[in-house]
Structure 1
Amino acid sequence: MAADAHADTVFSVAGKTALVTGASSGLGAHFARALAGRGANVVLAARRRQRLETLAEEIELGGGRACVATLDVTSAASVGEAVAAGVSAFGALDILVNNAGIGEGRLLLDTTDAQWRRIMAVNLDGAFRVAREAARAMAKSGGGAIVNIASVLSFEVQSGSGAYAAAKAGVVQMTRAMALELARHNIRVNAIAPGYFLSEMTEAYFATDAGQAMMRALPHGRPGNACELEGALLLLASDAGSYLTGTTIMVDGGHSLLMP
């Protein structure tokens, strides 16, 4: 029983404030529910405000605390306002789940400059912009934990994934660089690299022949469920991960075992 109590304490996020970007759907919404369900105050940030308000109402009806911030990660002003809204609502910012992202499958020779820049603007530039602003707020209050959401495609490529893979590889290196520089501010920076998970972004892919073939090739033969990311999230967001920084945890059902 004592060991159980210690585990509950060290993995606790109760009373901490977490900003979750891309929280209007998919993995972001699940991350927000997971943290709120364990006592964290959550700042729900994304472009689709109505969805955020619906999620905030759900969390509050369940006894949690949430506030909403409309967020466009391509705008420095919008990012600053979202972070400020969280600090204003709950007093400080302790955790960032840097999840906002988009995905487009397109061969590189068919990719225009504008399409390439759009992926980079959201998935890499946006991730940097949010992490930088969150880190500034955390530094003022004594530290915190940043959890960037990378991808198994940070480490491999597939036909049609070039722009997305390049951006997510950048997120991994950004995580390492920020971990090194922000340690002096007592800020830990880590990443989670999910494999293929059920979400709005991947639903159409799983319905294709290529998606079905991918699933059959995986060691477990199925995509992941969002709840299977909670262990890594809580480890990196809580004091259980107090000596972890600059690390990327792959949660991919063995997908990486298939890499050459």
Structure 2
Amino acid sequence: MSESISIRDRIGQALGRWLERDRPQFEPRAALDPDTLVRTLRRGDVLLVEGRAKISTAIKYLTQSTWSHAALYVGDMLPGQGPHMLVEATLQDGVHAVPLSRYARANIRICRAVGLSEAESEAVARYMIDRIGYEYDLRNIIDLARYLFPTPPVPVRFRRRMLALGSGDPTRAICSSLVAQAFQSVRYPILPDIRRSRAHGSDYSRREIFHIRHHSLFVPRDFDLSPYFEIVKPSIRNGFDHGLIEWAVQSEAKNLG
């Protein structure tokens, strides 16, 4: 039994290395100035990334979204590892810390939970830090890989289920699932199911009850779509004046074209 598990893991790791290779033709459309980004980020912010690896193609297809990866900003909570750190889960390295500079040339989006106290933001970050060293869940990595080949006509309503990779092993994690669990640990909603309930035998009331969804169903774009997360754009947050833009004159623009 252990031998078959070992073979499966070796196959998954080899496939993971191939899936995480960057596409050389990828170019960022709106990479942010690092200094501006650092001034804007707060502990507990979710960083969504438009990945440039092969696996990103499959995730983007299944989620119908630009965003294929999610990480959490923990700032300086990791002594000796720099002042601007993220915690993320990747195929090859599992749950680990990386400097913010890793995504200096990536298309990113900052999503900020609204109304969290400083203590709650620290608790969310601590949840991620405490799981550094966990493995990435490779259970259905082959299923992901097959979406890189002639794209199967999977109905949109079924695609999210294709990413519910949870193996049931608490020491394994998926990027967006782990971030979702971190916020659920402080009872913060992401995209809760909102249902009406019958109270005390009366007619259906208008009261809405938040049902926390299972973390394995969360994907990176859910933080973008959530009504409880603010989209933070550093270029606007730090002051933007369109009148200061130096536009190319028409002749120069034609030459550039």
Q: TM-score, normalised by structure 2?
A: 0.24
Greater RCO, CA 8 A, separation 6+: 2
Name whichever structure is richer in helix by fraction.
1
Name whichever structure is richer in strand by fraction.
2
